[in-house]
Structure 1
C-alpha cells in the first residue's frame, strides 16, 4: 500500500470533520455565543485567567494535550496492523476527540473556568465529584511521573537533543516578552521563534550534552527526572503568558513544520507501507485487538487527559466563546494528524516486512524509538537531510511535546490540590506554593518511592493508564451530555461516543483485572478494582441525575 494514499485520505477526512461536523456541533449543540463573557475576562488575574489570542491559545492547548502519547499509542498499536489504528485515529478524531475537547472547554467556560471534576459537583452531585477527582488525580500522577521517564530516557539516548530542548525554554521566555510586553506583531515573533528553534536543532549534534554517570547515587536518567520536576514546578508558578503560552505556541509551530517535513518526504519518496493492514501473525502474548486497541491509542483518537487540559488551563484563557471550536476541535485535528504521522513512520519507515517484524517482536515494542527511527529514515530519504539531523529533529519534537505536557500536567495537579483545599476547607492547600509542592512531591514520591534510585516508579502503575485515561474521557463526555440534556438540546452527538467508549473501557478494565490476578500483581489488581468501582458509581450518579431531570421535565 502506498503511504501517500493513506496520508491524503486521512488528512482529507479530518479536514471535512473540522469544516462541516465541528461547525454543526458548535452551532446546534453547544450554541457558542460570541457575546458571552468568558472567565478569562470576568476573573482575569494576569496569572491563570488571561484573555488570549486564539492562535496562541490553540498552540498552548494542542501541545499540552499532545505530548508523546499520540506517538507512543499508534506506534504500539500498529502491531495489530495499520488498518485498525488508522480507522480509530481518523474516526476517533472526528466524532470523539473533537467533540470531547471542545465540549470540556465549553462546559468549563460556562462554569467559571473550573475543572471538569469540580463542574461535576454542580451538574451531578458531590459524591460523583469526589470520585471523579480521585480518577483525575491518578491520571495526572501517571502522566507526570511517566513522561518524566520518557523525556529523561530520550535525553540520555540522544545527547544531541539536550541543547535544543532546554534552549527552547529560553526562546519561549523571550517570545512571551516580545508578545505581551513589546506588543510585536505575532507573525514576526513566530518567525523569530521558529528560526531560533531550528538553529538550536542544527547546533545540537555538534554540542552533545551528557550528565555525569552518577550524582549522589542517582544515574543520568534520574538526574534528568529531578531537573525536569524542578523546572516544571517553577514553570507552574509563573503567569501563563510568561512561559507556558509562548512555549506551547512555538512548539506547535515547530510540530507543524516537522509534520510538514514528514508529509513532504512521504509525498516525494512515496514509501511503501511494509506492515500488514491487518496483522494475522501477531507475536505470542499479544492481547486481543478488541477492546485493547481503543485504550492503547488514546491521544490521537480521544483522551481523558485532554478534558483536564481543556477545563484546567485552556478554558481560563478563552477570549471569546466562539474560539472553543478552533482551539478545542481543531486542536484534536492537530493531534490526529500527529498520530497519523506516527502510524506512517512506524509502518512505512522500514525497508522490509521482516525488518518491521523484528522490531515488533512482542506487544509493547515500538513506541517513540520506532517513530524516531522510521520517521528519520523517511525524512532523510525524501528531503536529503542527514540521518543525524533527522533523528535530532524528531527526537526534539517528541521531547518538546512531552515536556509541554509535563508543564501543563504539574499546573493542573496544582489546580486540583487548590480545588481540594476549597472543597474540604484546607487553607494550606489553597496556597499556590503549597499546592505546587504537594503536587510535585506526590510525583517524586511515586517516581523514587516505588522506583528506587532509577526514578521509574511511575512505570509501576502505567499499565492502568490507558484504561483510566479513556474512562476519564467517557466520564467527561457523560458530564457534557448531562449539561446538554438539561439545556434541552440533542444528546446523541455526545451520548453515542461516550457509550461506545465506556463499554470498551470497562471491558478493558475487566480484561486487565483477570490478567493482574493471573500474574499475582495484587497492587495493580487493587487499583484496577478501585478505578472500576469509582467509574461505575460515577456512571450510576449520572444516570440518576438524568432520570431526575426527565421526571421533572415530564411533570412540567
Structure 2
C-alpha cells in the first residue's frame, strides 16, 4: 500500500512541478485563442475551464484507464511505475503539446499539426492514419456498448427487440450522428461533465473499498518487483503497449484539438491537457491497484485476474466494483461500461469529421458542409458495425493492431512537438526523450508481438507460442530508437544550416 500511496503522491506532485515546467517551456501568453477569434458556434465555442477539463478527461479516458490498467496488473505492481512515470514524463507532455500546438494553429487536427512540423509526406500519412483509426475506434465503441446493453436487458428479464444488438447499435449510431453534427456544447459540453464526475467517483469508490476492507492488500513494488504475468509475457514492451490510456496514448492527440478549439485562454492548457492526463493516470493507478489487491499472488504470479479478464471488459469491471462498493458499485459499473465507451466513440467520429474538414479545406460552419462529411464518416462506421453485428464482417484481427498503432501515433506526435520546440528555440529534450523512448517501445512490440512480426522470430510448437525471441527484438528496438533520435538531430542541423544560407 505504501508504494501505491507514493506513486499517487508523485502523480500529484508531477502535475504541479513537472507539469509547470512543461507549461513554462511552451510559454502560453495572452494572444487571442481560436475559440474567441473564430467562434463559429459549432466546433469553436468558448467553454469554462472546469467543463473543458471534464470533457477532455472523458474524451481521452472512456474505459481505457480502467481495462488497460486491469490488464497491466497482470504484470504485478511494477505496472505502478509505468503509470506514474509514463503519465508525468510522457503522457502529460504528449497531451499538453498536442493540444497547445493545435491551439497555436487555429485548432487544427493533429494530422495537420504534424505535417506542419514534420513535412507533407508525414502529413498525408497522418491524415489517412488518423481517419482510419478514428472511424475504427468509433465503430468498436458502438458495437461494444450495444452488446453490453443487450446483456443487461437479458439479465433484467427483457425480451424481443430490446435484446437484439442490431437495434441498440442503430440507436447508438443515430446518437453518434447527432453528436458529430451539432454544436459541441449542445450535448458533449452539457452531459460529458456529469459522466466525467461519475468516472472519478467510480475510481474513488474502488480505492475507498480497498482501504476499508481488511481482506484486500495492495502489494508493494519492492516485494514483488518482477514479471508476474501468468503467461510469462515480457514486460518490455508488452506492458508499455497494453497500458496506454493512463500512461500515454496517441488517441489523446486526436481528441485534444477538440478542446483546443474551445479554450478562452492559452493559460488553461496546463489544467485542461496536462491535468486531465494526470487525473487519468490517477484513475489508472487505482484500477491497477485493484487488479493487484483483489486477486491473489501465487508462486510469484498473478492468479485469478486473467480469468476475470477473460470473461470480458464488463465482467471484470463489474466484479471489481461489486467487491469494493457493493450495490452502489454495481450501478456505477453498469453506467461506466456502457456510457464511457460511447463518450469516446462519438468524439472519435467528430474528430474524424474535423480531420477530413482540415484535409479537404471544407468549412464546417454550415449544415450542408457538415453533412458532406458526417454522412460518409458515419456511413462507413455503420457499415462496419452493422456488418459485424450481422456476422459478415469481422475486424477483430484488425483491432489487435490498435494497441501498436496507438503508441506509434504518440511517438510521431512527440517528434512533431520536438521539432516545434526546436524551431521556437526552446528545450526540445522535454519531448525528444519520451519520443525516443516510445520509438523503442513501438518498434520492439512490432517485432515481438505475434500479431505483427513475432510469428517469424518467436518459437512455436504445435502452433502454440513457446518463447519470445527477445534477443532479436530488443536490440532492433534500441537501434530504431537511436536511429530516430539521430534523424531528428540531423533534421535540426539541416534546418539550422538552411536558415544561415
TM-score by shorter chain over 0.5: yes
2:21 to 21, 24, 32: 24
1:70 to 65, 69, 76: 65
2:398 to 453, 461, 476: 461
2:343 to 404, 408, 419: 404
- Give the CA deviation at 1:155: 1.8
SS at match of 2:400: helix
Structure 2 CA distance for partners of 1:278 and 1:444, relative to 1, 3 Å:
farther
Judge which range, 224-233 or 87-96, deviates more.
224-233
- Give the CA deviation at 1:439: 1.1
Taking only aligned residues, the RMSD between alpha carbons, in angstroms, comes to: 3.3
Match of 2:319 in 1: 373
Match of 2:32 in 1: 37
Match of 2:256 in 1: 310
1:501 to 419, 431, 438: 438
- The separation in 1 between residues aligned to 2:267 and 2:74, in whole angstroms, is 40
- The separation in 2 between residues aligned to 1:454 and 1:38, in whole angstroms, is 47
- The 5 Å alignment of 1:442-461 reads 442-449=380-387, 451=388, 453-454=390-391, 457-461=394-398
- Give the CA deviation at 1:213: 5.9
Judge which range, 260-269 or 271-280, deviates more.
271-280
- The separation in 2 between residues aligned to 1:62 and 1:455, in whole angstroms, is 35
- The 5 Å alignment of 1:115-154 reads 115-154=109-148
TM-score (norm 1): 0.77
Structure 2 CA distance for partners of 1:65 and 1:484, relative to 1, 3 Å:
same
Contact 1:101 1:329 in 2 (8 A): yes
Judge which range, 140-149 or 404-413, deviates more.
140-149
- The separation in 2 between residues aligned to 1:362 and 1:378, in whole angstroms, is 15
- Give the CA deviation at 1:440: 1.3
Match of 1:235 in 2: 179
- Give the CA deviation at 1:124: 2.6
Contact 1:44 1:51 in 2 (8 A): yes
- The separation in 2 between residues aligned to 1:453 and 1:465, in whole angstroms, is 23
1:295 to 241, 244, 250: 241
- The separation in 2 between residues aligned to 1:367 and 1:356, in whole angstroms, is 18
Give the count of matched residue pairs: 473
Per-residue CA deviation, residues 46-85 of structure 1 (Å, 9 max, x unaligned), is 11101111101111111010011111211112222232x1
Judge which range, 355-364 or 325-334, deviates more.
355-364
Match of 1:158 in 2: 152
Match of 2:160 in 1: 212
- The separation in 1 between residues aligned to 2:400 and 2:9, in whole angstroms, is 34
- The separation in 1 between residues aligned to 2:219 and 2:251, in whole angstroms, is 32
SS at match of 1:82: coil
- Give the CA deviation at 1:334: 1.2
Per-residue CA deviation, residues 423-443 of structure 1 (Å, 9 max, x unaligned), is 9x9xx9992112111111222
TM-score (norm 2): 0.86
SS at match of 1:410: helix
1:48 to 25, 43, 65: 43
Match of 1:431 in 2: 369
Per-residue CA deviation, residues 373-417 of structure 1 (Å, 9 max, x unaligned), is 12320123xxxxx3xx32121231232221111121110111122
Contact 1:76 1:365 in 2 (8 A): no
Match of 2:466 in 1: none
Contact 2:207 2:290 in 1 (8 A): no
SS at match of 1:317: coil
- The separation in 2 between residues aligned to 1:457 and 1:404, in whole angstroms, is 23
Structure 2 CA distance for partners of 1:139 and 1:273, relative to 1, 3 Å:
same
Match of 1:333 in 2: 278
Contact 1:97 1:332 in 2 (8 A): yes
Contact 1:26 1:325 in 2 (8 A): yes
- The separation in 1 between residues aligned to 2:393 and 2:158, in whole angstroms, is 19
List gaps (5 residues or longer) in structure 1: 161-204, 381-385, 521-531
Structure 2 CA distance for partners of 1:265 and 1:257, relative to 1, 3 Å:
same
- The separation in 1 between residues aligned to 2:161 and 2:442, in whole angstroms, is 42
Matching of residue 348 in structure 1 with residue 293 in structure 2: yes
- Give the CA deviation at 1:228: 1.2
Contact 2:112 2:359 in 1 (8 A): no
Structure 2 CA distance for partners of 1:447 and 1:26, relative to 1, 3 Å:
same
Structure 2 CA distance for partners of 1:280 and 1:53, relative to 1, 3 Å:
closer
- The separation in 1 between residues aligned to 2:35 and 2:493, in whole angstroms, is 34
- Give the CA deviation at 1:236: 1.0
- The separation in 1 between residues aligned to 2:229 and 2:350, in whole angstroms, is 40
Judge which range, 42-51 or 396-405, deviates more.
396-405
Match of 2:165 in 1: 221
Structure 2 CA distance for partners of 1:455 and 1:407, relative to 1, 3 Å:
farther
Structure 2 CA distance for partners of 1:454 and 1:544, relative to 1, 3 Å:
farther
Contact 1:158 1:392 in 2 (8 A): no
- The separation in 2 between residues aligned to 1:54 and 1:372, in whole angstroms, is 32
- The separation in 1 between residues aligned to 2:454 and 2:141, in whole angstroms, is 25
- The separation in 1 between residues aligned to 2:441 and 2:112, in whole angstroms, is 26
- The separation in 1 between residues aligned to 2:494 and 2:310, in whole angstroms, is 45
- Give the CA deviation at 1:345: 2.3
Contact 1:67 1:401 in 2 (8 A): yes
